[in-house]
Amino acid sequence: MSQSPVPISACIIAMNEADRIGPCLASVSFCDEIVVVDSGSTDGTQDLCRKAGARVIETDWPGWVKQKNRAVDAASHDWILALDADERVDETLGRSIQAIRARGLEGPGRPVAYVLARRVRYLGRWLRHGGWYPEWRLRFFDRRHARWGGIEPHDHVYADGPEVKIREGDLEHHTYRSLEDQIAQINRHTQDAADDLYARGKRAGIWPAVFRPPFHFVRHYVFRLAFLDGWAGFVMCGMRSYYVFLKYVKLWEKTREKKGA
């Protein structure tokens, strides 16, 4: 007697994503449930999600890791497909996940988590170099064996059992709406990162802000061949180096303020 396929819950966090939540939701329509945890959208994101059939949970913003774990905990099913609102499962990846489910997700020796190949769209093109393709991300997992963790805002899923890469299909990451949007996100994320590092006991002088950004740029642009992605590769490397610079400047500022207190 054949068993019914194991149900899957898609879990998404969102805030003011009305302009791009639609394709994200549509890409996971093969899931048995879509859960969206919204942290105070004012652009109608919640209504769009409900109209698409998602279950929406409105709450505050406790940080990336806690918010994503909230979405996982709120799901009705144990198998989770986790996305950000700016990500989409392409058709090939969707078929791959459904094929894995059809073969059976649970049983002795089976993986408890699957790692997806994420590709990044930036300044109108898909990045193929610089270490940005594939970006392997653990996003499909059994929540009984996996949990979100990491240092803010760089969250990761950690599993306590076998993991397997899905090599057919991509998780599309439609990154920033504009350079202005990217700069605003860098400002927010570097503050989160500096605060989290400081809370973990990390302290810094000014020298990491001097040496780490150019090292980061050369590593990605030259040795990881981001120059082959043209201007998009150059700008991305510059922005990522700026992120590193700002993170350590903010940590240095907090360190200095504490010493002067």
Mean pLDDT of 204-230: 95
Mean pLDDT of 57-63: 95
Mean pLDDT of 87-109: 95
To the question of pTM greater than 0.75 for the whole model, the response is: yes
CB 156 within 8 A of CB 149: yes
CB 6 within 8 A of CB 114: no
Question: Is the confidence at residue 113, as pLDDT, over 90?
Answer: yes
Question: Is the confidence at residue 172, as pLDDT, over 60?
Answer: yes
Q: How far apart are CA 232 and CA 79, in angstroms?
A: 36
Q: How far apart are CA 175 and CA 177, in angstroms?
A: 7
Q: What is the pLDDT of residue 201?
A: 86
Q: Reduced to 3 states, what is the DSSP secondary structure of residue 157?
A: strand
What's the Cα-to-Cα distance from 260 to each of 207, 254, 255, 257, rounded to whole Å?
19, 10, 9, 5
Question: Is the confidence at residue 2, as pLDDT, over 60?
Answer: no
Question: Is the confidence at residue 23, as pLDDT, over 50?
Answer: yes
pLDDT bucket at 260, cuts 50 / 70 / 90:
low
| Element at 196 (helix H, strand E) | helix 179-199
pLDDT bucket at 158, cuts 50 / 70 / 90:
very high
Region of 124 on the Ramachandran plot (φ > 0 left; ψ -120 to 50 alpha; else beta): left
Question: Is the confidence at residue 42, as pLDDT, over 70?
Answer: yes
Give per-residue pLDDT as tens, 207-218: 999 999 999 999
State the DSSP code for 130: T
